Amino acid sequence: MAETQPDANGQTVDGASEYFRNTQRPKQLSKHEALAKEFIQYHVETNPDRRIAIVTSGGTTVPLEKQTVRFIDNFSAGTRGATSAEYFLQADYAVIFLHRQFSLLPYSRHYSHSTNCFLDFMDEADDGGVIVADEFQAKMRRVLQQYQHAKKNRLLLLLPFTTVTEYLYALRSLATLTKPLGPRTLFYLAAAVSDFFIPADRLEEHKIQSRETADGKGSGKKLIIDLDPVPKFLKTLVQQWAPKGSMVVSFKLETDPELLVSKAEESLSRYQHDCVIGNLLTTRKWEVVFITRDRGEKWIRVPKARRSKSFSGVENMVGLADHKKEPEQIDLEGGTVTEGMEIETLIIPELKRMHDDVIARQERH
């Protein structure tokens, strides 16, 4: 195997073990493990049929300095993960939401990235109290009810990460902690994880000074960043960390349509997990392709008429006219709004059916 190489004692270690041995355990890991343990135990004890989805979301960072001022990041606002988490909750899963700090969260996402945040939805009443303006009441009530339902029933655990190291440590811990659930665990790996990192022993302590990297020509000070590959932890997750018989779904984001399906197929055959969901940067909100061993290639698309218009990204406070727009339209009740169906309404039920089969197969054995 490409990731296997002998260590200093002549023993064979895989790339993932070596990575963990050489990178420091994140400070907050123990705290997060305790929260996850409590969460999982609660569900194991209160409902023997409860499934848990580990949803990962947002991009991981690769610091370029120890005291980090600069870092390499992967593009992701966390929309896929935050949206999917809501539909997993609707499908009666409990959800551990392992997300990039400050990326979008389930429920609050409906207001977070709007033009001027939620203050535009508020008004001051005659008695001086702050209230939600009438026109936004209906939607906010739906979101709030679902949020409070998840909270009251302890169905959602939010755990943040920033760096790729924090992400990998947390994922390994979560996989180990879900052992008591066995096949009722579903890994939904929507986070955009760095392929490359800088080993700790090569990291600069302080902010890289731009003047120290003269290229000899005088005027041009160049910066050269030299990165190592992150080990293919997905293989280790499937083979070692994850509970036996659990379901693992990964994502493959590409920009070149020519490469999408072959890259996704390659990933499935390499890591031997259950499903790769392929998507293109430009069309990811309307179409994805499921790659599985049993059924090959299956495209899932939002019908043209139900695709929401893209968000302009231009924010201003000059004219009032632009402010009262809702952010991206959503479909919390599975089909009652006129503008925009979220593709996750199709993805998650499809995965749930696959998960039914995975669990049934395990129970027959």
| Phi, then psi, of 18 in degrees rounded to 5 | -65, -40
Smallest distance from its own copies to CB 57, Å: 13
Distance CA 344, CA 118 (A): 24
User: Whose Cβ is closer to its own copies: residue 73's or residue 331's?
Assistant: 73
- Residue 319 CB, shortest distance to its own copies, in Å, is 9
Q: Does 241 bind its own copies (CB under 8 A)?
A: no
Q: Write each residue from 329 to 348 as x if it is in contact with its own copies (CB under 8 A), else as -, in one continuous string.
A: --------------------
List all residues 6 or more positions away from 278 whose beta carbon is below 8 Å from its beta carbon.
251, 252, 254, 260, 261, 263, 264, 288, 289, 291
Stated length of the chain? 365
* Of 135, 143, 250, 237, the residue nearest 191 (C-alpha): 250
Binding to its own copies (CB under 8 A) within 82-121 occurs at 101-102, 105, 107-108, 111-113, 116-119
End-to-end CA gap in the chain? 30
**CA 365 to centroid of chain Cα atoms:** 32
155 vs 242, which CB is nearer to its own copies?
Answer: 155
Nearest residue to 74 (alpha-carbon basis) of 222, 191, 178? 191
Minimum distance of its own copies from residue 59's CB (angstroms): 9
Among 8, 305, 320, 321, binds its own copies (CB under 8 A): 320
Q: How far is CA 202 from CA 24, 66, 227, in A?
A: 14, 10, 10
Choosing from 6, 49, 224, 363, the residue that interacts with its own copies (CB under 8 A) is: 224
Between 139 and 184, CB nearer to its own copies: 139
Task: Please choose, out of 145-153, 173-181, 326-334, 343-351, the segment that lies near its own copies by the rule CB under 8 A.
Answer: 145-153
Q: Does 317 bind its own copies (CB under 8 A)?
A: yes
Binder among 221, 293, 298, 324 for its own copies (CB under 8 A):
221
CA 364 to chain centre: 32
**Integer angstrom CA distances of residue 355 from 10, 131, 185, 280:** 41, 43, 9, 25
- Of the candidate residues 192, 234, 302, 354, the single one contacting its own copies (CB under 8 A): 192
- Asked if 191 touches its own copies (CB under 8 A), the answer is no
How far apart (Å, rounded) are the C-alpha atoms in residues 80 and 55?
Answer: 10
* 332-344 burial code (b ≥16 CB/10 A, e <16): beeeebeeebbbb
Contact residue for its own copies among 16, 54, 157, 275 (CB under 8 A): 157
Q: Kindly write out the interface string for residues 39-58 of this chain, putting x where it contacts its own copies by CB under 8 A and - elsewhere.
A: x--x----------------
Q: Interface residues for its own copies in 251-310 (CB under 8 A)?
A: 253-256, 259, 281-282
Q: What angle do CA 287, 113, 300 make, to 5 degrees?
A: 10
Q: Select from 48, 216, 313, 335 the one that contacts its own copies (CB under 8 A).
A: 313
Q: How far is the CB of 11 from its own copies (least distance, A)?
A: 16
